[in-house]
Homo-oligomer: A and B are copies of this chain.
Amino acid sequence: MFNGKLIMKKILLLTLALTISAIASAQTDMPADARLSETALFNRDYPRVYDDGRAEFVLQAPDAREVLLEFSEMGIKNPKKKMELQEDGYWHIITEPLTPGFHFYNFIVDGGKLNDPRTEIYSGTYGRSSGIEIPSPDEDFYDVKDVPHGRISVCYFWSETTGGLRRCTVYTPAEYDRKKSRRYPVLYLQHGGCEDELAWPKQGKVNFIMDNLIAEGKAVPMIIVMNSADISDFTFVPRGKSDSVMGSGNMGTYGQSFGPMLLNDCIPYIDANFRTLRDREHRAMAGLSWGAMHTASVGLGHPEVFSYLGCFSGFGRVSEQTLETDMNGIFADPARFNRDIRLLFLSIGENENRGTDKTCEMLARHGIKTVYYESPGTMHEWQTWRRSLHEFAPRLFR
């Protein structure tokens, strides 16, 4: 026993010495033009991002036959890339430059789709996905600054529509806790396909975008409510069919209960539990991609509830020929539309090419007012939607 203890002590001392020398070498290991991705977990030294937008990943899996890096969103060309096994048992890759902002990714290890143990996990295209943050020239608008910070609440409420307890997230501006009798307008803000009510608070940086806008006096203080678009209604993908919920689901039923749930359950809960302004003039709705479709159907379909609307990277089918009946005839009377809908904001990534600009031009020819925003150099990705919120929020409740 005595010898065993002595050996253990020696091993501990040796480990300590090795660790200290390894720390010293590891800390000088970071190239001058690289930094840790802000998504990296504590005590991890990867993934790294380079000044030119390249990203570097490692995975320790010494006995694997093949490891691929896969980007699971539309913003990345050539989404699958082979990683190289190094002598130390780590698989390694440096990508070509990626577009600025947030990207989902995962590894494929011998055919198994798995997340990177070195980075934060996000609700995304793959249920839960790894994420990386590429620095952006315009990141100032979502930087964490020394300004008053609002908070994000995770709230639980009962839904008669879905027959169960639901969770939503709520941003309250910094002053909400201090100005104890003031009431606030509300923006209902939706995520995209396969995400949930944590998407805007995490990869969307909704709180930091709003903290900065409000501190600069560019947006009025508002409450923002984020719901899951009933992602669990997505068609069940059985084992053996697919590890992904994308591409094999039935989009027809996906999120069908969302509208009644929002109107009949969530809004009454929010109005009962937060100091809200409870009329259409002080209610907005916006969303990205699948959430933009919800905004077009639920928001635009209920002008008695909402008067400001934002559709980021998505809108729905409208055409010059069928405009009078499209979207339940909301565009049939332009004068009434412009009176009821104080803002219809449509945005798109420059490289998405969905014809949103053409839609706005067509609507303008028919006297329908919209605001169009195009995110430079981005596709169907979070940088488009962060920028869209940053452009949209200052136009609300004025």
Contacts and interface: CB of A to CB of B under 8 A. Distances in A.
Counting contact residues on chain A (CB < 8 A from B), the size range is 35 or more
Given A63-B110, A89-B111, A231-B42, A153 B151 contact: yes
Contacts of A201: 154
How many identical chains are in the complex?
A: 2
Given A22-B240, A26-B238, A42-B127, A109 B117 contact: no
A128 to B, nearest CB: 6
A235 interface: yes
Interface in A175-224: 177-178, 180, 201, 207
Given A26-B239, A42-B245, A64-B109, A155 B146 contact: no
Given A152-B153, A273-B177, A22 B241 contact: yes
Interface string A36-51: 0000011111100000
B177 A165 contact: no
A110 B62 CA distance: 7
A23 interface: yes
Interface in A280-339: none
B121 A117 contact: no
Contact of A165 (B25, B113, B117, B144): B144
A74 interface: no
Interface stretch (A53-61, A93-101, A367-375, A376-384): A53-61
Interface in A139-183: 144, 146, 149, 151-158, 165, 170, 177-178, 180
B239 A112 contact: no
Contacts of A58: 239
A248 interface: yes
Contacts of A120: 128
Contacts of A121: 115, 121, 128
Contacts of A127: 41-44, 117-118
A63 B236 CA distance: 26
A237 interface: yes
A138 interface: no
A19 B250 contact: yes
A114 interface: yes
16 contacts: A19-B250, A26-B239, A42-B231, A43-B236, A43-B237, A60-B112, A61-B112, A63-B65, A63-B110, A64-B110, A88-B240, A115-B115, A117-B128, A117-B243, A149-B155, A149-B156
Given A58-B239, A61-B109, 8 more contacts: A23-B235, A45-B236, A61-B110, A63-B110, A90-B239, A109-B109, A109-B110, A151-B154
